[in-house]
C-alpha cells in the first residue's frame, strides 16, 4: 500500500511509504490528491510546475504539501497526478538538504463534478514523522492535515 | 488513544493536572498545572482522547502564567488542544502560532431581528436559496467582489470598518464587535505574496467544513433582563448566526510563520514536547512579524463576516419584501475563537501584561472591562456559542468569575467527538437533511457529504458543554437558539 489515511478527531492523517525518494514523495502527493478529490474523477487539463529546495527531509514533505495546498486553494484546482518528478539530496554541515522538481496535473475545481472533494487547510506538525529511505530500508512519512 | 494521567478535582467542574506530571514520555516539565473545566460526564469523554496530554504539553511552554486551561468542549487538536487557553507573560513568555490555529480569527457573529418564526413560514426554501446565491460558500468558493492586491490592504488594515465604508453594512455594526471589528497593528509587509493571493478572491465568502450561516429562533430565554439588552424579548424571535474566519489567507499566514518559528527554536534554546507548539520569545523578530501578519488576518476575518452580514440582510429584504432596518436586523456581537491578544489580567493579586492564546475558546469578559462595548459594559460581554448542525446554539454573557478563572474565557462550541470520515461512514447526507426537514429545519449544503461530516451525532451536546461552563462560573446562559434553516459551506 503506497499510502493510506488514518483517523484523527478533527483532522485527517496520511501515511505513505516508498523504497526510494521519488516513490515516497509521489506517494505523499498521491495520498494528498486522494484526500482532496475523494471519490470524484479528475481530468488532466491544467498543470503546475513545482520547484522546492528544503533544508531537511521533514521540511521537504511539509514544503511539498504546503505547495499543493496553496495551488489547490489559490488556483482552484484538483489534482490527479505528479509527473517528471526528481528529488535530489546534497550533503551540508547540518545534514542532507533536498531539492524537488515536478509537474502536477489536474483540472479546475467544479462543484458538481467534484462533489466528493474535501478542503485541506494546512499541514500540521503534530506527530509528524518523516524518514527518508536509507540503506535499503523503506522510507516512511506520517503527517496530520488540518481539514 | 485514552488518557490515563493524574486528574484531581479542585473546585466544582474544575480538574487539575498536577505540575509534577511528567507526561506520557516521562520527560515533560510542566511550568504550571493544567486545568480542565468539565463535569464528570464530559470528563469521561475528554479522557477518551489524548487532549489532556496536550493541556499538559502547553503547560511546558516558556513564560506561561497561571494555568494551562481547557474549556469543556476540549478535544484532541494538533499541538494545543482545541478548547485551550494559555496566557504568556508579555515580556518573558512566548508567542505560538499553533496556539491560535490555522484559521486565524475564526469566529461567530449573531444578528437579531424583530421577526418571528411564523413570518418566515413557507418562505424558508426561498430564503435559503437566496442566501446561497448571495453568500458564496462551499469548497473553492470565491467572493463576489474581486479585490486587486492593492485593494486587499483595506480589509487587512481596517477590518469590518473597511467593509462598512464600502457599503457592506451599517455604522452601528462596528460598535458591537470584539475590537470594534478592527485590531490595531496589522503589518501587511509581513504578509507573504502567497497569503495575499489566496486571500484576495476570498474576502466575503463562507468557506466549507464546519463553517455555516444559520437562521435561528429563540428557543428559550434564560435571563430576561440581559436577553433584553442583547435584543431578545420573546420565544420564536428570529436571529442569524454566521460562523467563518480568515479563509485561505489565515491558513497561509499560520503555515508561513510556523516555519519561521521552527527555524529559530534552537537559537532560543526552546525544546518542545510537540513540534506543532513551535513558538518564539514575545520580543523576538519572528513574534513581532507574526503578530503583524496575524493582525492582518484578524481584520480579514472581521471584514469577511461583515460582508456576509450585508448579503444576509439583502437576502432577507428580497424574500420578505421589507427593509433590513425595518426588520430590526441589528448585530448583537461578533466574537473570535482562534486568536492571541495582548490583555491585562490580575494574577495572584498582581496586574500582569499577557498574551492570551485562545484556540477554540471564546473571550467572555465580565462586567466593567473596558474592552466590552459601552452598551454592554455594565452587564458583561456577549459570547456566542454555535452548536452542532440542527441542535441548538447559545448566547452567553461573561462573568466576573471568568476573569479570575481562565483569563476571561469560556467554551466555543459543541466540540467534535467523531472524525469526519467516521461521520461520513455513519450517516448519509441526504437522509440526514430529510430527517432534519421533519423537525422543521431546512438544510442546504454544498454537498451531501458536508452535511454528513457535520452530523449532530459527531459532536458533543452543546447543552452539556454550556452547562458545565456555567456551573464553573465562567459564563452564564442568556438565550437558547434553535435552528430554522442552515446553510453549510
Q: Which residue, A23, A50, A55, is CA-closest to A133?
A: A23
Terminal alpha carbon distance of chain A? 23
C-alpha to C-alpha distance for A50 and A67, rounded to whole angstroms? 8
**Residue percentage of chain B with pLDDT more than 70:** 100
C-alpha to C-alpha distance for B98 and B100, rounded to whole angstroms? 5
Digit-coded pLDDT (tens) for B345-367: 999 999 999 999 999 999 999 99
C-alpha to C-alpha distance for A75 and A48, rounded to whole angstroms? 10
C-alpha cell at A14: 496520511
> Which pLDDT score is estimated for B68?
98
Q: State residue B177 phi and psi, 5-degree precision.
A: -135, 155
Digit-coded pLDDT (tens) for B301-331: 999 999 999 999 999 999 999 999 999 999 9
> Which pLDDT score is estimated for B489?
77
Q: What is the DSSP string of B33-59?
A: -EEEE--HHHHHHHHHSSHHHHHHHHT
Q: Which residue, B397, B126, B112, B336, is CA-closest to B241?
A: B112
Window from B18-32, B159-173, B381-395 with minimum mean pLDDT? B381-395
Least Cα separation, residue A131 to chain B (angstroms): 16
Q: Phi-psi bin for B204: left (phi > 0), alpha (psi -120 to 50), beta?
A: left
B292-306, B431-445, B454-468: which has the highest mean pLDDT?
B292-306
B258 touches chain A (CB under 8 A): yes
- CB contacts < 8 A, A to B, total 104
Distances from the Cα of B172 to the Cα of B180, B243, B325, angstroms: 10, 20, 12
Asked whether this complex has an ipTM greater than 0.85, the answer is yes
> Which pLDDT score is estimated for B350?
95
> Which pLDDT score is estimated for B371?
97
Q: State residue B67 phi and psi, 5-degree precision.
A: -140, 155
C-alpha to C-alpha distance for A12 and B160, rounded to whole angstroms? 33
> Which pLDDT score is estimated for B137?
83
> Which pLDDT score is estimated for B167?
97
Q: B278 contacts in A (CB within 8 Å)?
A: 125
Q: Catalytic one among B75, B337, B412, B467?
A: B412
A71 touches chain B (CB under 8 A): no
**pLDDT band at residue B300 using 50, 70 and 90 as cut-offs:** very high
Contact: B255, A8; criterion CB under 8 Å: no
Strands B442-445 and B362-363: unpaired
3-class DSSP state of A9: coil
CB A137 within 8 A of CB A18: no
Average pLDDT, chain B: 94
> Which pLDDT score is estimated for B423?
87
Q: A14 contacts in B (CB within 8 Å)?
A: none
Q: Phi-psi bin for B407: left (phi > 0), alpha (psi -120 to 50), beta?
A: left
> Which pLDDT score is estimated for A49?
98
Q: Which residue, B42, B49, B54, is CA-closest to B81?
A: B54
Q: Which residue, B458, B462, B474, B476, is CA-closest to B209?
A: B458
Q: A62 contacts in B (CB within 8 Å)?
A: 259
Mean pLDDT of B175-198: 97
C-alpha to C-alpha distance for B186 and B197, rounded to whole angstroms? 17
Q: Is residue B59 scored above 90 in pLDDT?
A: yes
> Which pLDDT score is estimated for B367?
97
**pLDDT band at residue A6 using 50, 70 and 90 as cut-offs:** confident
Digit-coded pLDDT (tens) for B11-51: 999 999 999 999 999 999 999 999 999 999 999 989 988 89
Active site residue B337: no
Contact: A122, B102; criterion CB under 8 Å: yes
> Which pLDDT score is estimated for B287?
98
Q: Is residue B282 scored above 90 in pLDDT?
A: yes
> Which pLDDT score is estimated for B340?
98
CB B145 within 8 A of CB B280: no
pTM of this structure:
0.96
Q: Is residue B1 scored above 80 in pLDDT?
A: no
Contact: B139, A117; criterion CB under 8 Å: yes
Contact: A146, B102; criterion CB under 8 Å: yes
Least Cα separation, residue B175 to chain A (angstroms): 31
> Which pLDDT score is estimated for B389?
80
CB A146 within 8 A of CB B236: no
Q: Which residue, B446, B415, B451, is CA-closest to B337?
A: B415
Digit-coded pLDDT (tens) for A87-135: 999 998 888 999 999 999 999 999 889 988 888 999 999 889 999 999 9
CB within 8 Å of A120: residues ≥ 6 apart: A12, A32, A35, A36, A69, A72, A145, A146, A147
Contact: A144, B78; criterion CB under 8 Å: yes
> Which pLDDT score is estimated for B420?
81
Neighbours of B21 (CB within 10 A): 20
Contact: A147, B255; criterion CB under 8 Å: no
B24 touches chain A (CB under 8 A): no
3-class DSSP state of B453: helix
CB within 8 Å of B117: residues ≥ 6 apart: B217, B236, B238, B484
CB B245 within 8 A of CB B386: no
Contacts 24+ apart (CB under 8 A), B224-227: B226/B379, B226/B380, B226/B397, B226/B476, B226/B478, B227/B395, B227/B478, B227/B479
- Show which of residues 1-40 on chain A sit within 8 Å of chain B, judged by CB atoms: 5, 7-12, 38
> Which pLDDT score is estimated for B90?
97
Window from A139-143, B47-51, B294-298 with minimum mean pLDDT? B47-51
Query: In whole angstroms, what separates CA B202 from the centre of its chain?
Result: 19
How many helices (H) and strands (E) in chain A? Answer: 2, 8
> Which pLDDT score is estimated for B209?
79
Provide the b/e sequence for B66-98 (b: ≥16 CB within 10 Å).
Answer: bbbbbbbbbbbbbbbbbbbbbbbbbeebbbbbb
CB B278 within 8 A of CB B261: yes
A109 touches chain B (CB under 8 A): yes
Q: What domains can be seen in chain A, in order of their start residue?
A: 3-146 (3.55.10.10)
How many helices (H) and strands (E) in chain B? Answer: 13, 19
Q: Which residue, B365, B361, B402, B481, is CA-closest to B58?
A: B361
Q: Is residue B140 scored above 80 in pLDDT?
A: no
Q: Which residue from B140, B275, B416 is facing A109, i.e. has the nearest CB?
A: B140
> Which pLDDT score is estimated for B39?
95
Query: Counting beta carbons within 10 angstroms of the beta carbon of residue A89, is it exposed (0 to 12), middle (13 to 18) or buried (19 or more)?
Result: middle
Neighbours of B383 (CB within 10 A): 33
**Residue percentage of chain A with pLDDT more than 90:** 78
Q: B418 contacts in A (CB within 8 Å)?
A: 9
C-alpha to C-alpha distance for A79 and A71, rounded to whole angstroms? 9
Task: Using the structure block, give the residue that is written with the C-alpha cell 522510507.
Answer: A139
Q: Is residue B182 scored above 90 in pLDDT?
A: yes
CB B194 within 8 A of CB B254: no
Q: Which residue from A7, A111, A122 is facing B251, i.e. has the nearest CB?
A: A122
Average pLDDT, chain A: 93
Mean pLDDT of B427-447: 88
Nearest chain B residue to A55, by CA = B263
Mean pLDDT of B212-234: 97
**Residue percentage of chain A with pLDDT more than 70:** 99
Q: Is residue B143 scored above 90 in pLDDT?
A: no
Q: Is residue B53 scored above 90 in pLDDT?
A: yes
Q: Is residue A33 scored above 90 in pLDDT?
A: yes
C-alpha to C-alpha distance for B303 and B181, rounded to whole angstroms? 8
C-alpha to C-alpha distance for A11 and B412, rounded to whole angstroms? 18
C-alpha cell at B78: 494538533
Amino acid at each position: 500500500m503506497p499510502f493510506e489515511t488514518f483517523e484523527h478527531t478533527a483532522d485527517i492523517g496520511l501515511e505513505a511509504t516508498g523504497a526510494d525518494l521519488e516513490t515516497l514523495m509521489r506517494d505523499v502527493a498521491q495520498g494528498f490528491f486522494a484526500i482532496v478529490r475523494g471519490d470524484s474523477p479528475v481530468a488532466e487539463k491544467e498543470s503546475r510546475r513545482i520547484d522546492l529546495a528544503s533544508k531537511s527531509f521533514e521540511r521537504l514533505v511539509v514544503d511539498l504539501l504546503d505547495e499543493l495546498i496553496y495551488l489547490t486553494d489559490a488556483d482552484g484546482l484538483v489534482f490527479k497526478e505528479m509527473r517528471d518528478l526528481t528529488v535530489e539530496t546534497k550533503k551540508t554541515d547540518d545534514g542532507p538538504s533536498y531539492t524537488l522538481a515536478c509537474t502536477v496535473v489536474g483540472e479546475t475545481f467544479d462543484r458538481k463534478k467534484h462533489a466528493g472533494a474535501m478542503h485541506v487547510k494546512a499541514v500540521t506538525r503534530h506527530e509528524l514523522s518523516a524518514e527518508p529511505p536509507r540503506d535499503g530500508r523503506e522510507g516512511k512519512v506520517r503527517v496530520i492535515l488540518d481539514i | 488513544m485514552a488518557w490515563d494521567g493524574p486528574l484531581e478535582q479542585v473546585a466544582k467542574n474544575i480538574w487539575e493536572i498536577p505540575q509534577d506530571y511528567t507526561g506520557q514520555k516521562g520527560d515533560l516539565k510542566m511550568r504550571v498545572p493544567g486545568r480542565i473545566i468539565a463535569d464528570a460526564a464530559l470528563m469521561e469523554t475528554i479522557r477518551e482522547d489524548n487532549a489532556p496530554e496536550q493541556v499538559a504539553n502547553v503547560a511546558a511552554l516558556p513564560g506561561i502564567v497561571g494555568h494551562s486551561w481547557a474549556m469543556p468542549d476540549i478535544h484532541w487538536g494538533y499541538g494545543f488542544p482545541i478548547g485551550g487557553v494559555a496566557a504568556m507573560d508579555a515580556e518573558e513568555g512566548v508567542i505560538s502560532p499553533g496556539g491560535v490555529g490555522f484559521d486565524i480569527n475564526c469566529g461567530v457573529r449573531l444578528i437579531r431581528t424583530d421577526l418571528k418564526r411564523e413570518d418566515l413560514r413557507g418562505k424558508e426554501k426561498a430564503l435559503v436559496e437566496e442566501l446561497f446565491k448571495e453568500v458564496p460558500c462551499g469548497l473553492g468558493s470565491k467572493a463576489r467582489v474581486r479585490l486587486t492586491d492593492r485593494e486587499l490592504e483595506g480589509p487587512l488594515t481596517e477590518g469590518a470598518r473597511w467593509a462598512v465604508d464600502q457599503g457592506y453594512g451599517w455604522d452601528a455594526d462596528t460598535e458591537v464587535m470584539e475590537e470594534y471589528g478592527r485590531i490595531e497593528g496589522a503589518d501587511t509587509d509581513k504578509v507573504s505574496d502567497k497569503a495575499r493571493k489566496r486571500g484576495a478572491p476570498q474576502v466575503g465568502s463562507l468557506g466549507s467544513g464546519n463553517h455555516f450561516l444559520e437562521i435561528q429562533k429563540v428557543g428559550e430565554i434564560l435571563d430576561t433582563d440581559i436577553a433584553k439588552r442583547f435584543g431578545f424579548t420573546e420565544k420564536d424571535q428570529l436571529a442569524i448566526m454566521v460562523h467563518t474566519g480568515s479563509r485561505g489567507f489565515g491558513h497561509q499566514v499560520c503555515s508561513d510563520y510556523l516555519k519561521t518559528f521552527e527555524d529559530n527554536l534552537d537559537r532560543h534554546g526552546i525544546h518542545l514536547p510537540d513540534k506543532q507548539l513551535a513558538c518564539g520569545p514575545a520580543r523576538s523578530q519572528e513574534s513581532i512579524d507574526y503578530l503583524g501578519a496575524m493582525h492582518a488576518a484578524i481584520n480579514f476575518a472581521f471584514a469577511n463576516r461583515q460582508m456576509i452580514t450585508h448579503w444576509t440582510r439583502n437576502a432577507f429584504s428580497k424574500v420578505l419584501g421589507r427593509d433590513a432596518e425595518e426588520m430590526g436586523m441589528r448585530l448583537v456581537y461578533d466574537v473570535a475563537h482562534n486568536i492571541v491578544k495582548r490583555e491585562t489580567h490580575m494574577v495572584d493579586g498582581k496586574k500582569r501584561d499577557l498574551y492570551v492564546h485562545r484556540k477554540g475558546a471564546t473571550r467572555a469578559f465580565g462586567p466593567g472591562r473596558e474592552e466590552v462595548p459601552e452598551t454592554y459594559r455594565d452587564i458583561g460581554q456577549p459570547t456566542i456559542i454555535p452548536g452542532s448542525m440542527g441542535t441548538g446554539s447559545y448566547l452567553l454573557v461573561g462573568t466576573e468569575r471568568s476573569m479570575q478563572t481562565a483569563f476571561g474565557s469560556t467554551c466555543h462550541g459543541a466540540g467534535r467527538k467523531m472524525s469526519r470520515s467516521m461521520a461520513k461512514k455513519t450517516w448519509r447526507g441526504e437522509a440526514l437533511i430529510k430527517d432534519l426537514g421533519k423537525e422543521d429545519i431546512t438544510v442546504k449544503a454544498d454537498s451531501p457529504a458536508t452535511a454528513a461530516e457535520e452530523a449532530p451525532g459527531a459532536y458533543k451536546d452543546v447543552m452539556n458543554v454550556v452547562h458545565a461552563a456555567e456551573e464553573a462560573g465562567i459564563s452564564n446562559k442568556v438565550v437558547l437558539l434553535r435552528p430554522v434553516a442552515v446553510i453549510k459551506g
